[in-house]
Amino acid sequence: METTTQRLSLVDKAPETDSFREAVLNGLRKPQKQIPSKFLYDDRGSKLFDRICKQDEYYPTRTEMEIMRTHAEAMADAVGPRARLVEYGSGSSRKIRLLLDHLENLAAYVPVDISRDHLLEAAESLVEAHPDLPIQPLCADYTTPFELPEPPRPPARTVAYYPGSTIGNFPPDEARDFLAHVRTVVGRDGGLLIGVDLKKDVDVLEAAYNDAAGVTAAFNKNLLRRMNRELDATFDLDRFEHLSVWNDEEGCIESFLQSREAQTVTVAGGSIAFAEGETIHTEYSYKYTLEDFAALMQEAGFAVDEVWTDERSYFSVQYCTVRRTVR
């Protein structure tokens, strides 16, 4: 479906409510209840995540933006002229603004996001700032196959942009498969500019996902609110609490919604029982060493060409190209 505003044509491939219902019911019936983290990002969830990025404890966004401000010109040189840039999980498109002024003769910018309203709002804002840039917003679940809109002019290459630490939301095997899919999207001469959060002190990590203002808790619990709204669920948000902890064996932060008491909740007409202390797993946030991530990229068919980090080595932005020979 295509939705046209005054200056934008939105290609709308948003998942149907049925896919949300199926994922929720299947996930809540597992021994370890779980719901995929992509469903955290409805319109309200996306706005709450924007607020998380402004919290003092949440170092990834400001660190990544510091890296990009310092190295934007070098990143643009790596992307090269006349590229089509496809941003996965574009959200408010804050970070792409740091690159746009440096990119030479961009053929098209394709922001891809699952939150339709958030996507359009950000795209409209970019049109104001860059009236000559072809912007082709695509509302889709980017973890599933999708077709890119036809660009207004042939690009020299396609480059994916995957900012933030979102690749950490996939367990390593799933990350490898997702990155291999990105490789097929960008094609033989394509590239990938990606944000990668690095391993560091556990106290720093846990504080980032348990901010004192409670914004991350509100973001996580918004998933319950969404189920109430879209699936006629009966979650009492006050009877659940947010929990994020470091899993040293797996090398990741894991986020949960924990039931404060024994209770039964109705979801899409079915009953789901919770024991006191029982959890719903809502998100992984894997962290990497540079060496481990380079090995993952190689398995996915990419080579890491450039790495930019901050002074503390908290975060990295990496430019990767498709390997000529992929086994």
Tokens coding 136: 């082709």
Largest CA distance in the chain: 59
pTM for the model stands at 0.90
Beta-strand runs (E) in 119-190: 138-140, 157-162
How do 9-13 and 33-34 pair as beta strands? Answer: unpaired
Cα-Cα-Cα-Cα dihedral sign, residues 151, 154, 160, 161:
negative
Pick out the chain residues at pLDDT < 70. Answer: 1-8, 14-17, 325-327
Measure the CA–CA gap between 205 and 124, rounded to whole angstroms.
34
The predicted structure's pLDDT at residue 5:
46
The predicted structure's pLDDT at residue 288:
98
- Cβ neighbours of residue 228 closer than 8 Å, sequence gap 6 or more: 234, 235
Angle (deg, nearest 10), helices 172-186 and 290-299? 60
What is the topology classification, in CATH, of domain 59-201+288-322? Rossmann fold (3.40.50)
Domain boundaries, the chain: 31-56+202-286, 59-201+288-322
Could you identify the residue written with the tokens 């400001």?
62
Residue 299, classed as helix, strand or coil, is helix
- Cβ neighbours of residue 190 closer than 8 Å, sequence gap 6 or more: 157, 158, 159, 160, 183, 321, 322
